[in-house]
Amino acid sequence: MEFKHLRLESVTPALGAVVHGVDLDTVTQPAVYEEIKQALWDRQVLFFRKQKLSPDSFRRLGEAFGTPEVHEYFAHVEGFPQIQKVASDGTASPYTDRWHADVTFRARPSMVEVLRAVELPENGGGDTLWASMGAAFDGLGPALQGCLIQLTAVHDLPWSFRKNPYLGKQNTPEEELELIRKHPPTRHPVVISHPVTGRHTLFVNAIWTKRIENIDPRLSDHLLAMLADWVQKPEFQLRFHWEKDSVAIWDNFATQHYAAFDYAPQPRLMHRMTCGSAAPGAAARSGREGSAA
């Protein structure tokens, strides 16, 4: 894919590109953002080095992908509620050190995420890994693909909070009922058709996916465990080493990510935006399940 305003350096065959030739702090032409969007849909995650972004420029970058949200679980940069502070003091796992896509417990999960390194551990560490869920689906083969396309899974925030104490405090019965009221379980296809590219993509993850419907619970547990293990194949992945002012943009529908917690007791601070949303649509069955649209 050729671009007028930027140059891409591929990271792995499955996904990822480092973008050269763009100063994100001084972009004025909508055409630049359009090329970044097209590169993202093609490569699933993009990386930029040495980007000293003002909050205004960071906000404009996010807005190119849709309306930035005000997130319910994070503090924000003063005056910019769209820019979340994703911070770890290095004393305990932030629970992002496992493979997941974000907020799939919603009926319309976030579509694109933008992350910028602000403060990094002095002793190194804190890399982020991404895996292509389109490549993971393609690798399963037609027989298993055809089975998974027929299935629907339940994604459940209150269940995940109960299962994983890292995510929050122990709720009282009243707080638990309120959480369930605000975030009832959501059903998504196990395999979706990507909203932009149409590519068949796995859409279950180890944090938010509770069960697969209409099969024995024991089979659901084993199938989800198998898929959670499958997406960890190195062939589907890349690993990014952060430097101060590095920026990553990723497609939350096309990928899962894993934030390595190997920097204790050093702190780590990132600024993040989550932009746009979509309702995951089921992938249509075909004679060649793994082909991308």
The pLDDT profile of the chain, 293 residues, written as one tens digit per residue, is: 788 999 999 999 999 999 999 999 999 999 999 999 999 999 999 999 999 999 999 999 999 999 999 876 678 898 899 999 999 988 887 778 899 999 999 999 999 999 999 999 998 999 999 999 999 999 999 999 999 999 999 999 888 888 776 555 567 778 778 888 988 999 999 999 999 999 999 999 999 999 999 999 999 999 999 999 999 999 999 999 999 999 999 999 999 999 999 999 999 999 999 999 999 999 977 644 444 33
The domains located in the chain, with CATH, are 7-89+110-131+241-277 (3.60.130.10)
Q: What are phi and psi of 85, to 5 degrees?
A: -95, 110
CA distance 211 to 214: 9
Distances, alpha carbon 248 to alpha carbons 23, 129, 135, in Å: 14, 11, 20
For the chain, where are the E strands, in sequence order? 7-10, 17-20, 45-48, 76-77, 80-88, 110-119, 128-132, 152-155, 186-189, 191-193, 200-202, 209-212, 237-240, 247-251, 255-259, 268-277, 281-282
Which class for 267: exposed (0-12), middle (13-18), buried (19 or more C-beta within 10 A)?
middle
Distances, alpha carbon 161 to alpha carbons 13, 96, 155, 242, in Å: 35, 13, 12, 29
Q: Spell out a b/e string for 182-194, using b for 16 or more CB atoms within 10 Å of the CB, else e.
A: ebeebebbbbbbb
Q: 3-class DSSP state for residue 221?
A: helix
* CA nearest neighbour of 90 among 270, 242, 258, 265: 265
Which class for 97: exposed (0-12), middle (13-18), buried (19 or more C-beta within 10 A)?
middle
| pTM for the whole structure | 0.93
What single DSSP character describes residue 236? G
Decide: 71 and 276 in contact? Cβ < 8 Å. no
Question: Which of the residues are catalytic?
Answer: 100, 102, 257, 272
**Confidence at residue 169, expressed as pLDDT on a 0 to 100 scale:** 58
**Confidence at residue 255, expressed as pLDDT on a 0 to 100 scale:** 98
The total of other beta-carbon atoms located within 10 Å of residue 248's CB is 21
